[in-house]
Amino acid sequence: MMKKTYLGLLVFCLSFTLVEAQVEKSPVAPDYNKLQQIIDEAYKLFENDSAGAPADYIPELARVEPDLFGISVVTVDGRVFSAGHVEHCFSIQSISKVFTLAMVMEQLGQQAILEKLGAEPTGLPFNSVTAIEQQATRVGNPLVNAGAIATTSLLEGKSAAAKWKNILAFYSACAGEELELLKDIYESEAATNARNQAIARLLDAYGVMYDDPEKAVDVYTRQCSVGITTKQLAAMGATLAAGGINPFTGVEVMNAENIPQILSIMLSCGMYDYSGTWSYLTGLPAKSGVGGGIVAVVPGKGAIAAFSPRLDGAGNSIRAQKAIAYISQQLNINIFDPQSVGVE
């Protein structure tokens, strides 16, 4: 069970102002000036990269300004370093899956994730129906659509409205600021989510849907439509990096014992069918969303978030990938490298 109720956490979080901690050294980089310099370099290097295109299967996402680009780093000591359009609010989309997974793990325990959801990469697109037929657990893992809808269906709550209220409060506690539903995105997704409805019905037929399919899809659609800025996304990632403690408020949002399991799933499944290559190139657990955001977590140190609407064929932001990879390489942060910065 959570240390406090989600609503209690939110009230506690909002009583604080997002201020930077006064410390002498960043746990992420050799020094603050170097970190900001590298972020600025990444922004300038990829600012004019026009490869890819915004997601068009959700009409409102196709209307997002494609040239928006922001990078933000939040360290576990509460420092913020940014460049670009980091205050622009975009939809969190599939990055939400990580935090709903965290909620279910808090409520049901780590073993339930393996028994009811699984943790295996599908090697197929995030909305694959074929994967449901091929995977032993049917849902594959909590970070593809089938697994995420099943995850949402497992959430405690007497009604869909109660589940949604808890989700929004928990996400806000992770960000350290109150988040809101982007109504235009939600309505656009709800009007075009027939495939997800079909996935939920198929899961129900296999006995791996734990609530009414229609209600589960609606709650899932709402969670994907939460508005987030690049700075807020980096703060959510930094909460994972800090063992479940929000770096700004000091609130213990989630159990530290669950973080390694969450990060392991992010590493193997977080970038969809590009996850293996991403891990090979960066060595960082990450999660992307078709809204254009990506967050990468550096355990014990902080998180790097980037936003750009133009996506590749797997549904991952092209500029965000390049920016995060560049920053991680320049800082030598890789969880598989014994010489990674911060290891002393």
Confidence at residue 271, expressed as pLDDT on a 0 to 100 scale? 94
Residue 196 assigned ligand-binding role: yes
Residue 145 assigned ligand-binding role: yes
Asked if residue 179 lies in contact with residue 243, where contact means CB atoms within 8 angstroms, the answer is no
Listed in sequence order, the DSSP H helices in 242-334 are: 259-269, 275-282, 318-331
Among candidate residues 74, 82, 325, 91, the one with its CA nearest the CA of residue 229:
91
Residue 189 assigned ligand-binding role: yes
**How many angstroms separate the CA atoms of 167 and 170, rounded?**
5
Using a cut of 0.85, tell me whether the model's pTM lies above it: yes
Q: With bands split at pLDDT 50, 70 and 90, how would you rate the model's confidence at 125?
A: low
CA end-to-end span of the chain: 34
**How many angstroms separate the CA atoms of 165 and 5, rounded?**
12
Predicted confidence (pLDDT) at residue 1 exceeds the cutoff of 60: no
Listed in sequence order, the DSSP H helices in 47-159 are: 59-62, 96-108, 110-116, 130-134, 145-154
Share of the chain above pLDDT 70, in %: 86
Predicted confidence (pLDDT) at residue 293 exceeds the cutoff of 60: yes
Mean pLDDT within 208-233: 96
Amino acid at 205: A
Q: Mind giving me the DSSP string for 143-170?
A: TSHHHHHHHHHHS--SSHHHHHHHHHHH
Mean pLDDT within 258-279: 94
**How many angstroms separate the CA atoms of 309 and 318, rounded?**
8
Confidence at residue 339, expressed as pLDDT on a 0 to 100 scale? 75
Predicted confidence (pLDDT) at residue 133 exceeds the cutoff of 50: yes
Confidence at residue 2, expressed as pLDDT on a 0 to 100 scale? 47
Confidence at residue 126, expressed as pLDDT on a 0 to 100 scale? 59
Q: Kind and range of the H or E element at 189?
A: helix 183-190
Q: Kind and range of the H or E element at 82?
A: strand 80-84
**How many angstroms separate the CA atoms of 43 and 71, rounded?**
7
pLDDT in tens, 6-49: 444 444 344 433 333 333 444 555 577 889 999 999 999 999 99
Residue 86 assigned ligand-binding role: no
**How many angstroms separate the CA atoms of 270 and 327, rounded?**
19
Mean pLDDT within 98-114: 95
pLDDT in tens, 173-211: 999 999 999 999 999 999 999 999 999 998 999 898 999
Asked if residue 163 lies in contact with residue 157, where contact means CB atoms within 8 angstroms, the answer is yes
Name 248's Cβ contacts closer than 8 Å, sequence gap at least 6: 16, 18, 19, 78, 176, 235
DSSP 3-state percent helix, strand, coil across the chain (nearest 5) = 50, 10, 40
Among candidate residues 117, 84, 72, 86, the one with its CA nearest the CA of residue 237:
72
pLDDT in tens, 314-342: 899 999 999 999 999 998 899 998 877 54
Mean pLDDT within 65-94: 96
Name 203's Cβ contacts closer than 8 Å, sequence gap at least 6: 132, 138, 139, 146, 149, 150, 209, 213
Asked if residue 6 lies in contact with residue 166, where contact means CB atoms within 8 angstroms, the answer is yes
Residue 344 assigned ligand-binding role: no
| Domains of the chain, first to last | 6-331 (3.40.710.10)
Q: Among all chains, which residue has been given the structure tokens 């996400």?
A: 171
User: Between 212 and 7, where is the model more confident?
Assistant: 212
**How many angstroms separate the CA atoms of 268 and 276, rounded?**
7
Residue 82 assigned ligand-binding role: no
